[in-house]
Amino acid sequence: MKKALKVLAFVLTFVMLALALTSCAPKKDPDKAVDALKAKEYTAVKSDYLGALGLAALGIKGVDSVVTGTKVVEKGDEKKTESVTVIYFSSKDAANDAWEKVEGYAKEQNKDKDTDWQIKKSGKMIYFGTKAAIKAAS
């Protein structure tokens, strides 16, 4: 009985860890990411045209679609823009090849020097933006 409880505890710990690590990434389907952003009152757009972001000039290839979302949040007298950009690639290799270029571009986009700005890669997508916006896309 004790052995079964230990195994069950280990399995539950592993499952919870896996959920915690994967829950922060945006949805893998661009349309579902747009729907999730709109449900949280973000202005969200899906585009199949990489040039809309200015990334086309970087020579990035293998992009299927791009999702962007923005929302202005007011906290007292301050206004902060929460934003996220998710670039969906045709393959994991295409995302790996584009990582350095997208990372440099994303760092330039952090004009306000937000401390909660993130740039990450997950499988066939690269995403960047504020933590709250990334969470809204998930």
* 43-54 residue pLDDT tens: 988 887 665 566
Range of the domain at 67: 26-136
In the predicted model, what is the mean pLDDT of the chain?
79
Using the predicted structure, report yes or no on whether residue 119 has a pLDDT greater than 60.
yes
**Which amino acid is it at 68?**
T
**Which amino acid is it at 48?**
D
Distances (CA, A) of 34 to 47, 55, 89: 11, 20, 16
Is residue 113 a part of any domain in this protein? yes
pLDDT above 70: percentage of residues in the chain = 75
Is residue 124 a part of any domain in this protein? yes
* 126-137 residue pLDDT tens: 999 888 888 888
Is residue 91 a part of any domain in this protein? yes
Is residue 31 a part of any domain in this protein? yes
Is residue 1 a part of any domain in this protein? no
Is residue 7 a part of any domain in this protein? no
Is residue 13 a part of any domain in this protein? no
Environment class of residue 103 by beta-carbon count within 10 Å: exposed (0-12), middle (13-18) or buried (19+)?
middle
Total number of domains in the chain: 1
Is residue 41 a part of any domain in this protein? yes
Environment class of residue 69 by beta-carbon count within 10 Å: exposed (0-12), middle (13-18) or buried (19+)?
buried
